[in-house]
Amino acid sequence: MLTQSSRSLLNLRSPCRVIPVVESRLQFVQVLESAHVGAIFMRRCNLFEFVTLLERAHRGGYSVYVNMDHIDGIEGDAAGLRYLAQHLRVTGIVSVHPKILSLGKNFGLETIQRIYVVDSTGLENALESVDPRSVDLLDLSPALVIPYVIPSLTKLLPLPFIGSGLIFSAEQVQAVLSAGALGVAVLRPELWP
């Protein structure tokens, strides 16, 4: 049985604010060998191929989050979320779907609502629809817009946020963090700590 990590994205400290997004076993192993990672996002992989690596991650104190919109092997229904929480002991889930997040919260998972920033009106409407009772953190995507839109929207943000998507350089990571993001989820291994 896996033991759930006590780490949370809400408590990330430098230099652990870059969150690797892993899509393969090789990437997961690479992340586990890094000393400066606190959390891992999983997407586009089959969770059942990662059970031993998940156990190793939990023993190492890593927080593991599953992108429910882009994962194989588990559905975003009550049975799937219960399995994630009780058997695989992931820390939390990421989704654009409020129903999945609400269900995840019922099983004690930390929940991250992904919001696509298409335009200012869409962002404002999305932020107004966030239910802080079932969402712990926001994931604003693409992260590149954060330095430009967050200063004018700080009063509308109901929760802390991270950024993800379209990050290609260390300078972009730093710009997003400097704009107030708690962390930046990054797919490119060369930008991982």
Q: What is the pLDDT of residues 41-93, one digit of tens each?
A: 999 999 889 999 999 998 988 999 999 999 998 999 999 999 999 999 999 99
Mean pLDDT of 94-123: 93
Tell me the average pLDDT across 90-97: 96
Buried b (16+ CB within 10 A) or exposed e, 107-136: eebbbbbbbebeeeeebeebbeebeeebbb
CB 111 within 8 A of CB 93: yes
In a domain, 149, yes or no: yes
Specify if 122 maps to a domain: yes
Instruction: Using the predicted structure, report yes or no on whether residue 2 has a pLDDT greater than 80.
Output: no
How many domains, the chain? 1
Would you say residue 10 lies in a domain? no
Domain-located, residue 3: no
Task: Give the global pTM.
Answer: 0.92
- Taking the C-alpha atoms of residue 148 and residue 96, their distance in angstroms, rounded to an integer, is 22
Residue 6 covered by a domain: no
User: How far is 11 from 148, CA to CA, in rounded Å?
Assistant: 24
- Which domain CATH number covers 135? 3.20.20.70
Tell me the percentage of the chain whose pLDDT exceeds 90: 72
Residue 62's domain comprises 15-191
